[in-house]
């Protein structure tokens, strides 16, 4: 299988420049490499779908991470309830999981990837 970006350029940087690149990339929500590729494309006046394909990394906000962690805990608890045949507890737990997961997943469609 052919890799889309098979070439690597090793560049030595001062710690100050490296830090500034990291900050700029983080502010744009991309990796350092993606940021550098985009700067190079812009500076050279080039367009390259392969090189520009590395866009912003989706980030899960802390509140959503906390909500997802809570859902995982509920799933763990539901296993015990299900094994004991406690249908009402299982259904209530599934309802609470749905109440968290569905809005989060639907919200992913509106995010830039």
Q: What is the pLDDT along the chain (113 residues), one digit of tens a residue?
A: 556 677 788 889 999 999 999 999 888 888 888 889 889 999 999 988 877 776 555 567 888 889 999 999 999 999 999 999 999 999 999 999 999 999 888 877 665 44
Q: Is the pTM of this model over 0.85?
A: no
Phi, psi angle pair for 7, to nearest 5°: -105, 135
Structure tokens at 34: 């993606």
Looking at residue 113, its pLDDT comes to: 44
Give the pLDDT score at 18: 94
What is the phi-psi region of residue 59: left when phi exceeds 0, alpha when psi lies from -120 to 50, beta otherwise?
Answer: beta
């Amino acid at each position: 299988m052919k890799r889309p970006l098979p070439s690597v350029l090793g560049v030595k940087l001062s710690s100050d420049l490296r830090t500034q690149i990291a900050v700029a990339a983080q502010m744009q929500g991309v990796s350092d490499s993606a940021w550098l590729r985009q700067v190079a494309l812009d500076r050279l006046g080039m367009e390259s779908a392969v090189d520009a394909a590395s866009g912003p990394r989706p980030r899960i906000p802390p509140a959503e991470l906390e909500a997802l962690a809570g859902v995982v805990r509920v799933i763990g608890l539901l296993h015990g309830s299900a094994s004991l045949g406690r249908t009402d507890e299982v259904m209530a737990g599934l309802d609470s999981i749905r109440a968290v997961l569905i809005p989060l997943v639907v919200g992913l469609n509106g995010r830039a990837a």
